[in-house]
Amino acid sequence: MSPLKDISYIINELAEDRESYFNAIAPPIMQSSNFAFKSIAALRTAFEDEMGGYLYSRGLNPTGDILRKKLAALDQAEDCLVFGSGAAAIFAGVLANVKAGDHIVSVKSPYTWAQKMFDVILPRFGITTTYVDGTDTKNFEAALKPYTTLIYLESPNSWTFAIQDLKEVVALAKAHNIVTMIDNSYCTPIYQRPIALGIDLSMQTATKYISGHSDTLGGVLSGSHIMIKKIFDSEYLNVGSGISPFNAWLLLRGLRTLPARLERITVTTKKVLEFLKTHPKIDKVLFPLDASFPQYQLARTQMDGACGLMTITLKNGTMESITRFCESLRHFFIAVSWGGHESLVIPKCAGLLPGDFDKDNIEHQYIRIYTGLEEPTYLIDDLNQALNGI
Ligand SMILES: *Cc1c(COP(=O)(O)O)cnc(C)c1O
């Protein structure tokens, strides 16, 4: 993939109108619900195209708009919408592309709340979903029905890092006139730009790397002007799940350091990975850009990088040894999420009752590690003492 051009310009200058706010470097938080008009005719124009200006902050807001324009440029998309969470962005992107009776083909084990939408909410409206192993594009083709309207991807998956061949899936979808949507949260547009590969809708949570400080939620949905305007005029305004001015401001602040943080985390991840791969208590380490990863070659062709998350398994891992390992870590918080300054650990078995743990199911043994911005040796020493203690 060609590296992202103009990244410094996008992050520092694009869409900022500093002369209009006292040449402040940091933009103001435009904490206003509504905007006034000089004439009824001007208000009427705003009603006709709410995306053309500022009317009411459930739609667009000046602080959110600076963020929106930067994120669209990073995604190399014509436009984007910023939501109050990644889950809200998924909801809007999917809902906009299905109607009663339609069918979705989704990669298996997508993000929890995408799956809950497919399994619990959409069936109430007669919309069905088929899950496929996305490591082979033929599986998508085999699952298509005459009434399939959406192919939903997540590449890489945030636990297994399984990836889909995006160019192949795009070619298949275009041949059948099907919309493609991807969860690009793991990579962010710094490391993967699905729109440039032909994907219609690229979604990412902004809660993770864009924020970078574990202090706000947000979500991004990028695509063509036509697709984004359609979603704005319907799902976005109707559900009212747009980003608030203050949270948009926090995300703008996070965005300033996104490339620097990813660069740092990438270096740390490699060091932690090399340490874990040689530790005698470790069975397997999963990381998409490690040469041992089954889809390493494909990952290299469509991703510019990978960092932060990796999944490990312990030799002869039991619920007890996994629990002891996680609880022995002194500098990794036991918590969901990732992308912040702080390192984290979460075992898959946290979502299982002890009786349901199957030691022969490798996924039950998964322990996901996120390396944050700490010193690599600080983290490695901690992992070492915890591993040696089990
Ligand atoms: C966290 C996450 C989401 C959802 O984002 P929120 O901002 O928490 O709603 C979606 N996809 C992946 C892969 C995630 O990790």
Which residues of the chain fall below pLDDT 50? Answer: 1
Residue 292 CA, ligand 1 centroid: distance in Å: 27
**306's tokens:** 């990978």
Residue 92 CA, ligand 1 centroid: distance in Å: 14
CATH of 4-255, one of 3.40.640.10, 3.30.70.1230, 1.10.150.80, 2.60.40.1120: 3.40.640.10
Q: What angle (nearest 5°) sits at the alpha carbon of residue 233, between those of residues 231 and 234?
A: 65
Separation of alpha carbons 127 and 154, rounded Å? 20
Domain 258-388 superfamily per CATH: Aspartate Aminotransferase, domain 1 (3.90.1150.10)
Provide DSSP, 203-215: EEESTTTTT-SSS
Residue 339 CA, ligand 1 centroid: distance in Å: 11
Q: Report the pLDDT value the prediction gives residue 4, as an integer from 0 to 100.
A: 73
Would you mind telling me the total number of residues written for the chain in this entry? 390
Q: Are 259 and 7 in contact (CB under 8 A)?
A: yes
Residue 273 CA, ligand 1 centroid: distance in Å: 24
pLDDT digits (tens, 9 = 90+) for 87-97: 999 999 999 99
Q: Report the pLDDT value the prediction gives residue 354, as an integer from 0 to 100.
A: 86
**Which amino acids bring their CB within 6 angstroms of ligand 1?**
85-87, 111, 158, 183, 185, 205, 207-208, 217, 219
The pick from 94, 153, 158 for probing ligand 1's pocket by mutation, whose C-beta has the most ligand atoms within 8 angstroms, reads 158
Single pTM value for the model: 0.97
Domain range list for the chain = 4-255, 258-388
Q: Are 369 and 310 in contact (CB under 8 A)?
A: yes
| Ligand 1, atom nearest to 206 Cα | 7
